[in-house]
Amino acid sequence: MFIFNPEHELALANNDENFMPKASTKKLAEDLRFLSFWCEQTDKISVWGWNKYIRKKLILSGIDKNILPSDEYLQNIRELSHRKTASEAMFFLRREIATPLPYPAEILKNITEIEHFAQKYYEIVLKSPYSSSGKGVYFSGKDLSNSVLGWCKKTVTQQGCVLGEKRFEVVKNFAMEFQVVDNQTNFVGYSLFETDGKIYRNNILTSDENIEKTISRCGIDLRVLNAVKQSLIKFFNQKIAQKYSGFLGVDMFVFQENGKKFLNPCVEINLRHTMGLVAHKFYKNFVLPNSEGIFSIDFYENSTELFQNHKQNFIDKPLIIKDNKIVNGYLSLCPVFENTNYRVRVEI
């Protein structure tokens, strides 16, 4: 049994089993509940991400608590999901790999430290310790606005710090997906994605080979990429594999500075399933090799418009299947009804 619980990071930040997700998050979980069909299918209970809230929810639904993760395991996940883990990984990578890499994110524990950090760069990125999908992320120049300062004060009070990074001119976003099994980390594959600023837009459905070619065309030596992969596996085996079992994703990007291209190999680490992982698995299992497409999360405030778009896509972009794989066409990975607001859309 697999459960899609998109409120995971918010529940981690809250750290209370009685956490109450927002109505919009509940609707997202409801509309995309059948996304589990495209994820791993096991005899055990599996979730998008483990936290205190989802465990209590499962216990209240009648699941024996003895087959669910322990308090210690959940605490390990929360500690390792803190953005400081990505910062530690960057320190590790800078020691392991002989190529220029960005400075790790700095942990800033008060407004004085935050204001001082803002003076170091022309533009900065401030992040809360627990956040995902562009939430809890603010861009700023040297002069911090009142709204950014207010957010910083609130985040420091609630979560203990914010993390600061130099802002880069991003050329290409991608991720490496891993799986920890029996205390060992294995590389699963790549995901290539696009954003609107800091908000996730969609994944590109294509092969790992094509993703490597795309990264190479951006000016990154594939030997460096492989070194990053192997070094991350080494870091995870030392830092995470003894405390966590499951999937994890590492967001990365290629950036441009002074006319040259560089790699940021560890923007954030997600100890959970990711949309990139689902897109990777979907392409591998259901799309004909050499075909390409997009994997997108759509939101329509007007559910009727989404329902009409869904029906029209079936007419305009019918699925073409060959050898049990998709060659061309439109597919929604979850049912779309007249009251549906969210959709996972695939177009090949």
| Residue 199: predicted pLDDT | 82
| Residue 132: predicted pLDDT | 63
| Residue 1: predicted pLDDT | 79
70, 57 contact by CB (below 8 A): no
Domains and CATH numbers, the chain: 2-79 (no CATH), 83-101+168-278 (3.30.470), 106-166 (3.30.1490), 287-347 (no CATH)
Token pair 């830092």 is found at 239
73: left (phi over 0), alpha (psi -120 to 50) or beta: alpha
Query: What tens digit of pLDDT does each residue of 226-266 get?
Result: 999 999 999 999 999 999 999 999 999 999 999 999 999 99
SS3 76: helix
End-to-end CA distance of the chain: 28
- Rounded CA-CA distance 117/115 in Å is 5
| Residue 323: predicted pLDDT | 94
| Residue 135: predicted pLDDT | 73
| Residue 133: predicted pLDDT | 61
Query: Tokens at residue 53, please?
Result: 């809230």
- The low-confidence residues of the chain, meaning pLDDT below 70, are 40-41, 132-134
| Residue 180: predicted pLDDT | 97
